[in-house]
Amino acid sequence: MALIIAALIILPAMDAIAKLLSNHLPSLEIAWARFLFHSAIMIPLALWQHGGRVLRPARPLLQAVRGLLLAGSALMFFFAISRMPLADAMAVFFIFPLLILIASTLMLGEASSWMRWLLVGLGFAGAALAAQPTLAGVSAGTPFAAAAAFAYAAALMVTRRLSSDDPSLVTSALSAGIGVLVFCCGVVFVWTAPTPRDWLLMAVMGALAAIGHFLIVAAHRLATASQLAPFGYTEIASAVIFGFLLFGDWPKPTVWMGILLIVASGMGATWREANAGRRAR
């Protein structure tokens, strides 16, 4: 739980940088750079720690599927934030915890009580309040944000399947490498020369992605997908903070109400899982 919360505090900073870059760089190029620097950090670390196991994963097909899903999710979300406000995109994207809960119950056979469903719903309501999505029609970025959510939820389900087969560092490195290979095929057609400042921002974006996604993989080695689902809403609170720091968006009272609901959801999930652990012991 602590690992997933840390990851979701870090990752909105990456999204905010991507939105800054989208003002003058193509989304495909931003996604390429994000995976380039991500892989430049993770692959050497994985080779140092695990050697040839990086090239011989236990389940190579699932590793490839995870990498493709994460690459698709990142690209779709970058398309979304280039066409709509970050908060609106986050609001649509935050259907992913509900998707995880449904999929983990129907496909993985994980037990999900009515209380866990209630906590996820509470967190979703908080995310909707905090994101303040517009109601004046459907934004051009909405389908991309929804596609990003579906791909991300599927990637987390695959992560759960892989958690007992390969170390977290190997899984993170392989996904990063697959992402950069995929985007290399298309970036040449949209290439726009970045400035030195752009390169620096892209390097920071890749480093944040490396840290955040490694923490997500590690979290899924220690808890079930449905247990972690209520904590997904931590990201919206972090997004509000980075939105203020980078774009000057100060939260309205309804946004603070949403953050309180998110915190209540996370605290409720922590209390419930702690009680469940005590009963099991």
pLDDT at residue 195, rounded to an integer: 94
Dihedral sign from CA coordinates of 102, 104, 108, 110: negative
Helix (H) or strand (E) holding 32: helix 27-50
pLDDT at residue 74, rounded to an integer: 92
pLDDT at residue 123, rounded to an integer: 73
Q: What is the mean pLDDT of each run of 10 residues along the chain (281 residues)?
A: 89 91 93 93 89 85 93 93 80 77 68 73 73 58 87 87 80 90 92 94 92 83 76 78 77 73 71 64 64
Q: Which residues 6+ apart lie within 8 Å of 12 measured at CB? A: 90, 235, 238, 239, 241, 242
pLDDT at residue 180, rounded to an integer: 93
HSE-CB for 101 with a 13 A CA cutoff: 23
pLDDT at residue 205, rounded to an integer: 93
Helix (H) or strand (E) holding 179: helix 168-187
DSSP code for 167: -
pLDDT at residue 148, rounded to an integer: 94
251, 244 in Cβ contact below 8 A?
A: yes
65, 234 in Cβ contact below 8 A?
A: no
What is the signed CA dihedral for 79, 83, 85, 87, rounded to 10 degrees? -40
Cα(205)–Cα(38) distance, rounded to whole angstroms?
Answer: 8
Q: Which residues 6+ apart lie within 8 Å of 253 measured at CB? A: none
Per the confidence metrics, is the pTM higher than 0.75? yes
